[in-house]
Amino acid sequence: MTAEPVITLDHVSRIYSMGRLDVPALVDVSMTVQPGEFVAIVGPSGSGKSTMMNIIGCLDRPTSGDCSVAGTYVDDLDDDGLARLRSRTIGFVFQSYNLLPRTSAIENVATPLLYQGVGRKERMARAKAALVRLGLGDRLDHEPTELSGGQQQRVAIARAIVTEPSLILADEPTGNLDSHAGEEVIALLRELNATGRTIVLITHDNDVAAMASRQMHMRDGRLVA
Ligand SMILES: Nc1ncnc2c1ncn2[C@@H]1O[C@H](COP(=O)(O)OP(=O)(O)OP(=O)(O)O)[C@@H](O)[C@H]1O
Ligand SMILES: [Mg+2]
The domain ranges of the chain are 7-100+165-224
Q: Is the pLDDT of residue 222 over 70?
A: yes
**pLDDT confidence of residue 208:** 87
CATH of 7-100+165-224, one of 3.40.50.300, 3.40.710.10, 3.40.50.1820, 2.40.50.100: 3.40.50.300
Q: Please name which ligand lies nearest the alpha carbon of 63.
A: 1
Residue ranges lining ligand 1, Cβ < 6 Å: 16, 18, 23, 25, 43, 45-51
| Closest atom of ligand 1 relative to the 218 alpha carbon | 21
Q: What is the mean pLDDT of the chain?
A: 94
Provide the residues around ligand 2 (an ion) whose CB is within 5 A: 50
At 2, is the pLDDT very low, low, confident or very high (cuts 50, 70, 90)? low
Q: Please name which ligand lies nearest the alpha carbon of 18.
A: 1
Ligand 2 centroid to Cα of residue 35, in Å, is 24
Q: Is the pLDDT of residue 168 over 80?
A: yes
- Nearest Cα to Cα of residue 107 among 61, 64, 78, 141: 141
Sequence-ordered list of residues with C-beta below 8 angstroms from that of 118, at least 6 positions apart, any chain: 126
